Structure 1
Amino acid sequence: MSETRYKRSQAERKTETRARLIDAAAELFARKGFHAVSAEAVAASAGRTTGALYSHYGGKEGLLLALLEVWKERTAAELTAELAGSSDPAAHFGAMWGSITRPRADRGDAWLLLEMELWLHGARSPLVGSRLAERYAQIRTQLGEGLADWAAATGTSLPRPPEETGALVLGVLLGCALQHRLDPHGIPDELVVDALRTLLGLDDLPDKDRP
């Protein structure tokens, strides 16, 4: 094997190992909780050694911090993608809501469970908490920018600055999702979509001005 091919295969193995550890941690932390899961359990679920976990992430805490970054990118991408190419973001609110609350074939309802697990650990750990706060700030910014782009393209004014709007939209989605997880019938999809429409001031527009 040439040196170039060897280096490439080595890099591919490292990438695969990191991805397997991240996916295993996401599933186990969401299902059992961060403190109830050992580094050994994550490594075993990923089909890797505990030494590999420590080599790549320095331990379970480092793995959680890496998971925060991955989850931030996935969350922002999924939310902002729903706004792309739409003349009316409200038409996509149902899909945004579903991306948070509806089980996925690949990870069930781990998204919301992991979100809450990360928040709990971040509230108790200054190091994780500061990274989690940065993550939320970036999600708010990206979501707000997506809404600002829509407003500019349609000639609509956002009722608040973009980042504040992003914060409120994210707050409605996560806050309602918490309640929906325990009482789905108490938080129907229509209620959430209507709340987001109201938040953006779409209900106050004359019919001729609605996007």
Structure 2
Amino acid sequence: MNAESAEPARRRLSRAEAQARTRSLLLDAAARVFARKGFTGASVEEIAETAGFSIGAVYSNFGGKEALFLELLADRHTDRIAEAAQALERHPSGTGEAAAELGRLLIDVADKDTDFAPLQAEFWLYAVRNPEVLDTMAANLRAPRRALEQVISRSLTQQDAPTGVSAEAVATVVAALFGGLVRQRRIDPASVPEELFADALKWLFTGINASGAARSDTA
């Protein structure tokens, strides 16, 4: 493509599209640099250079290294929740097929997404030592958490759960369960077989329904 034909293509890229592309390239570069150097060892300069931008592009789009990492973390959570939602859309909640897909999702995260695991642990320690970062981290993860709450809310409705059960509370338990089993799988793979997460979800929802039935009996 010559310069004359390339110029119209560049003009068709809106300001918003150009910014989105820049952010995407910076996030991709940050993921690679963090994987090589860790959160502490990575520098804004190296991230910018890897993406092919100036340091100013990092600060103007994200504000710094912390925000870049938090965006990556939120993206990972959003992607996983979207996969879970798609599994439940393909197979009604509570069925064996849905449970099997959710189990495979956990195994994939535990066994294949290994580069990000030490980064999460490193950043968690960093955030614990910097409470203001914890506040930002919580804020960044609210959007994926709300998406998880919507998935949980649909599951509660499909399984005729008691009306007083909070989707927000159940989402917190499910997220903690998923994260804990992923870590345990990485420590001792044999202790977390593929079906364990699915079984744990069944136990959770069975308990929710049983508690609702018990309250009805005593009412």
Shared fold per TM-score greater than 0.5: yes
Q: Normalising by structure 1, what TM-score?
A: 0.75
Q: Which amino acid aligns with 1:80?
A: A
Choose between structure 1 and 2 for higher RCO, CA contacts under 8 A separated by at least 6 residues: 2
Q: CA deviation at 1:81?
A: 2.9
Task: Quote the residue 1:17 is aligned against.
Answer: 22
Task: Quote the residue 2:199 is aligned against.
Answer: 194
- Tell me which of 45, 49, 54 is aligned to 2:50: 45
Written as runs of structure 1 = structure 2, the 5 A alignment for 1:105-116 is 108-116=113-121
- Tell me which of 105, 126, 131 is aligned to 1:121: 126
Written as runs of structure 1 = structure 2, the 5 A alignment for 1:52-131 is 52-87=57-92, 88=94, 89-103=98-112, 108-131=113-136
Q: Which amino acid aligns with 1:181?
A: R
Q: Which amino acid aligns with 1:57?
A: F
Distance 1:70 1:202, change over 3 A: same
Partners of 1:91 and 1:197 lie apart in 2 by: 11
Please identify the structure whose Cα radius of gyration is greater. Answer: 2
**1:47-69 per-position Cα deviation (integer Å, ceiling 9, x unaligned):** 33323323333332342344344
Q: Alignment partner of 2:88: what SS?
A: coil
More helix by share: 2
Distance 1:149 1:192, change over 3 A: closer
Any unmatched runs of 5+ in structure 1? 206-211
Q: Which amino acid aligns with 2:148?
A: L
Partners of 1:111 and 1:84 lie apart in 2 by: 28
- Tell me which of 182, 187, 201 is aligned to 2:187: 182
Task: Quote the residue 1:209 is aligned against.
Answer: none
Partners of 1:55 and 1:140 lie apart in 2 by: 26
**1:14-47 per-position Cα deviation (integer Å, ceiling 9, x unaligned):** 3322111111212332453211111122123223
Q: CA deviation at 1:131?
A: 2.1
Distance 1:159 1:182, change over 3 A: farther
Distance 1:68 1:203, change over 3 A: closer
Task: Quote the residue 2:217 is aligned against.
Answer: none
Q: Normalising by structure 2, what TM-score?
A: 0.72
Any unmatched runs of 5+ in structure 2? 211-219
Aligned 8 A contact 1:180 1:186 in 2: yes
Aligned length: 201
- Tell me which of 13, 17, 33 is aligned to 2:38: 33
Stretch of structure 1 that moved more, 134-143 or 166-175: 134-143
Q: Which amino acid aligns with 1:51?
A: G
Distance 1:149 1:26, change over 3 A: same
Is 1:8 the counterpart of 2:17? The answer is no
Partners of 2:163 and 2:185 lie apart in 1 by: 27
Q: Which amino acid aligns with 2:106?
A: W
